[in-house]
Amino acid sequence: MRLVKKVLIYMVCQGRLLVFTHPRNRGIGLQVPGGTIERDELTEEAARREFFEETGQTLQAIRFVGEQFHDMRPFKDELHHRTYFAGTWKHESRKRFAHQELHAGRAGVAPEHFSFRWEKIGAGLIDALAVGQGNLLGRLSPTSAKVLTPRVRRAELVSINKLIRTYQSNRASEHLRLLSLLFAEGSSKVSRRVNTTPSRALLAQAFSIAVTGAKKQNNTKIAHAKKILDHSDGNSRRPLICWRKDCAIDSSVKYESTAYVYVGRGSAPSASDDVRACLDEAIAWIRRCNMDDSVNNSLGVIVLLRKRGLLEASNSYTLSGLPGTIFTDFVPSAFRMGEVLLHEATHSWLNDALGACHVSLPRDKLFYSPWRHKDRPAFGIIQAAYVFSRILQYLARALVFDRLAAHEVSYARSRLRSEQRVIKKHLKSICAAFHLISDSRLRDICLEELNRAVNLTHPGEKSCANH
């Protein structure tokens, strides 16, 4: 891997940071001004030169912020040794401005276009900056990293989430229309229930079991579908939580474990208040870690399979035919349940993202899965690698909060070490699978998440990555 020396500049004006995107290549993401230190150039000189080239403005008084190493894989096989400086904007303050970088003396290099804007400094921005450029932002002021600012989202993520919402809405409407053919008298009851994630999950369950019932001419399955449709439990926006004893088995979607569809138990849900409180706290953990984008539209029904102890690994699964439903064992730790919910909801998110972006993946190209320890098609490896990249970030972020029990800290640290090692070892093949995603927005998001996972440091442990 090639070592490249870089400078980055945190330019601040009235509590806001100067950031930019490349209008012609938005996939690179949100960045701060900076660039490569040239041979025989002093670090501070490089900062002034790069800032002038990229913004067209001179850099006045600057101060050293810190240094950091950043592994640029899978984007480039480079290790960046970054030096960060901070400056205060002394020029005319404009909300947004554009600039074209002129590479003087570099024949054949097309000028780059930058679109600048100011974003409020806080936790939301740290997470939004590409390839770890926000990592030292907390050093500008000790409190900035903890200031909860509105999250700045990547343009690609905003665009894909919008597509997913339309995709999910269309799917629910279509499920409803088709089920109305079978249950004409029940259609008015369910027609108002397509706007919440639980109601959509129930609709998908009713649809799935109705199709099986109709194919097999099995009236019991049709009755289950009707019972699901008639249920009012999906009206709430909160996930519907039930134990598998509230469910009927849908043998048509059997996959290693058994799939269940919710048939409900009237007004007496079987999950105890303790279990509900634990799962509410699990969702709070996901939000605390700034990762609720993955779960907002994917947590409809949670089917609890078995109760497991803290010393047992839990099983969980998601099925593309039952979007919005998550099947999982229950472990009495909100933090660990947060991991499970995030894991499965992220699979659902990616399923919908692939569908909404019309991505078709080849079935004949196989990639080694370090989780299944066998070759899998691109779909499987993309799902696993994307989800584990997100899970690693969840574990690292949760460790920063001083709220985990000692056994949860041990779990998070050892799991983080183990899975990060796996991802780093198989980075090339994961990256090759990601490059089969034909939609550039989704591909860029997947690659960025992978880059973040590779670069995670282990909070509370000695690290040589950051100085």
Partner 1 sequence: MRKSLKTEFAAFLKAVETSGQSTTSQAACHHSAVEVNDWQKIKSEIKRSLSNGESIPTVATHRRVKS
Residue among 12 and 241 whose Cβ is closer to partner 1: 241
| Tokens, residue 288 | 């605390």
Peptide bond into 323 cis (omega under 30): no
270 binds partner 1 (CB under 8 A): yes
Interior angle at CA 211, CA 208 and CA 216, nearest 5: 125
Integer-rounded Cα Rg, in Å, for the chain is 25
Amino acid at 138: G
| 362 is a site residue for partner 1 (CB under 8 A) | no
Select 149 or 258, whichever has its Cβ closest to partner 1.
Answer: 258
Stretch that binds partner 1, among 72-80, 147-155, 286-294, 413-421 (CB under 8 A): 413-421
Q: Which stretch binds partner 1 (CB under 8 A): 87-95, 136-144, 191-199, 347-355?
A: 347-355
Cβ-based neighbours of 360, under 8 Å, separated by 6 or more: 438
CA distances from 143 to 123, 139, 140, 420, 429 (A): 10, 9, 9, 29, 40
Contacts to partner 1 from residues 416-435, by CB under 8 A: 418-419, 422
> At a CB cut-off of 8 Å and minimum separation 6, what does 112 contact?
22, 100, 101, 103
463 is an interface residue for partner 1 by CB under 8 A: no
Pairing of strands 240-243, 301-307: parallel
Q: In the range 382-401, which residues lie near partner 1 by CB under 8 A?
A: 383-384, 387
- Of 91, 307, 365, 428, the one binding partner 1 (CB under 8 A) is 307
Question: Does 330 contact partner 1 by CB under 8 A?
Answer: yes
Closest contact distance (angstroms) between CB of 263 and partner 1 is 17
Of the pair 163, 387, the CB lying nearest partner 1 is at: 387
CB count within 10 Å of CB 252 equals 17
Q: Does 197 bind partner 1 (CB under 8 A)?
A: no
Q: What are the DSSP calls for 85-116, one per residue?
A: EEEE--S---SEEEEEE--TT-TTPPPEEEEE
DSSP single-letter state for residue 61: S
Is 217 one of the binding residues for partner 1 (CB under 8 A)?
A: yes
Q: Given candidates 135, 144, 168, 208, which one binds partner 1 under the rule CB under 8 A?
A: 208
Residues 241-260 that bind partner 1 (CB under 8 A): 243, 252-253, 255-257, 259
Q: Kindly state whether residue 322 participates in binding partner 1, applying the rule CB under 8 A.
A: yes
- The 150-179 contact track toward partner 1, x by CB under 8 A, reads ---------------------x--xx-xx-
**Token pair for residue 393?**
């970030």
Out of 28, 155, 194, 211, which residue is the one contacting partner 1 (CB under 8 A)?
211
Residue 287 is a binding residue for partner 1 (CB under 8 A): no
Helix (H) / strand (E) element for 2: namely strand 2-13
67 binds partner 1 (CB under 8 A): no
- What are the C-alpha distances in Å from 116 to residues 20, 27, 124, 260, 357? 4, 16, 18, 51, 28
Q: Name the residue nearer to partner 1 (CB basis): 263 or 322.
A: 322
Indicate whether 207 belongs to the interface with partner 1 (CB under 8 A). Answer: yes
Q: Is 370 in the site for partner 1 (CB under 8 A)?
A: yes
Helix (H) or strand (E) holding 123: helix 123-128
Among 36, 100, 232, 272, which residue interacts with partner 1 (rule: CB under 8 A)?
272
The string of DSSP codes covering 128-157 is HBGGGTTTTGGGTSTTGGGS-PPPP--HHH
Q: Does 378 bind partner 1 (CB under 8 A)?
A: no
For partner 1, the closer of residues 259 and 396 by Cβ is 259
Q: Which is nearer to partner 1, 186 or 321 (CB)?
A: 321
- 278 touches partner 1 by CB under 8 A: yes
Q: How far apart are CB 1 and partner 1 at their closest, in Å?
A: 24
- Is residue 315 involved in binding partner 1 (CB under 8 A)? yes
Alpha carbons 44 and 36: distance in angstroms, whole number: 12
Nearer to partner 1, 63 or 307 (CB): 307
Pull the structure tokens for residue 200: 């959509």
Contact call for residue 320 and partner 1 (CB under 8 A) = yes
363 is a site residue for partner 1 (CB under 8 A): no
